[in-house]
Structure 1
Amino acid sequence: MSMKTTLKDAMKEAMRAKDKNRLSAIRLVQAEIKRVEVDERIDIDDARVLAILDKMVKQRRDSISQYENAGRQELADIEIAEIAVIQDFLPTALTEAEIAELVQSAISQVGAASMADMGKVMGILRPQVQGRADTGAVSGLVKAALNS
């Protein structure tokens, strides 16, 4: 079943359950997917849906830190709830050990020896960790591995 169909079914379930918070978050996801489809005049696939979900989680994490710094915990709580709903549709997160293994595998696959090869390594890693790990954290691990 495609991600868009899964989202549509989840929206129907949230409507039946009268779960307003979950319904609102799912509608935000669907609106973003529709916006991308209309703007780019394409029908997006599951990989692109995962990229959109990943981006939405990252945006909400940024918002949470800004709200907490401004002392607006009630708004941060809304963002936290939205992240929880969005993450229901993302694949299971990778563990630190799995990420480290992927990084070492990608480095050996490319034959990377210095920071100049970081783009090649990240090019291999990005599709493998999309929606399953924070790309910024993975990038930090790659930098540490290449500098050692």
Structure 2
Amino acid sequence: MTLLTTINEDVKTAMKARDKEKLSVLRMLKSALQNEQIKKGTELNEEEELSVLSREMKQRRDSLTEFKNADRQDLVEKLENEIVIVESYLPKQLTEEELQSIVQEVIASVNATSTSDFGKVMGAIMPKVKGKADGNAVNRIVKEQLS
């Protein structure tokens, strides 16, 4: 079953439960997936669906940071609830230790020795952890290990 089908089923469930908040988030996800499908012109594969969800999650995390800095607690709570809903459709996130071991493996495989190899390392890591780890966390760990 595709992610879009799953979200459609969950939209129906949220409508029946009169859960307006979840319904709103699910409709946004559905819309993002459908827009990407239209742009591509064909059905999305699992990796492309994951890419769309990751983008939606990143937007919410970035907004959350901005709202916290602006001291907008009302919007912070709303976004935190949205993040929980979006996370439920993403694969299980990697732990810090798992991420560090992947970074170490990639650094060894591309023979990276200094921070000048940062781009090469990130380019090799991101496809492996797509949707399973936050890009900012990967970025931080790679910088730590290369310095």
Same fold flag (TM > 0.5): yes
Pairing of 1:11-90 with structure 2 (within 5 A): 11-90=11-90
Q: What is the CA deviation profile of residues 73-116 of structure 1, one whole-angstrom value per residue up to 9, with x for unaligned ones?
A: 11221111111100000111111110001001111111222233
Distance 1:16 1:124 in 2: 44
Residue identity opposite 2:26 in structure 1: I
Residue identity opposite 1:80 in structure 2: E
Distance 1:34 1:88 in 2: 19
Distance 1:142 1:65 in 2: 22
Residue 137 in structure 1 maps to residue 137 in structure 2: yes
TM-score normalized with structure 1 length:
0.89
Q: What is the CA deviation profile of residues 30-80 of structure 1, one whole-angstrom value per residue up to 9, with x for unaligned ones?
A: 111122222343432211211221121121122122223333211221111
2:100 maps to which residue?
Answer: 100
Over the matched positions of the two proteins, sequence identity in percent amounts to 37
Q: Which runs of 5+ in 1 are unaligned?
A: none
1:118 maps to which residue?
Answer: 118
The total of aligned residue pairs comes to: 147
Question: How far did residue 146 of structure 1 move?
Answer: 1.5
TM-score normalized with structure 2 length:
0.89
Instruction: List structure 1 segments (4+ residues) > 6 angstroms apart after TM superposition.
Output: none
Question: How far did residue 18 of structure 1 move?
Answer: 2.0
Question: How far did residue 26 of structure 1 move?
Answer: 0.6
Cα RMSD of the aligned pairs, angstroms, is: 1.6
Residue identity opposite 1:31 in structure 2: S
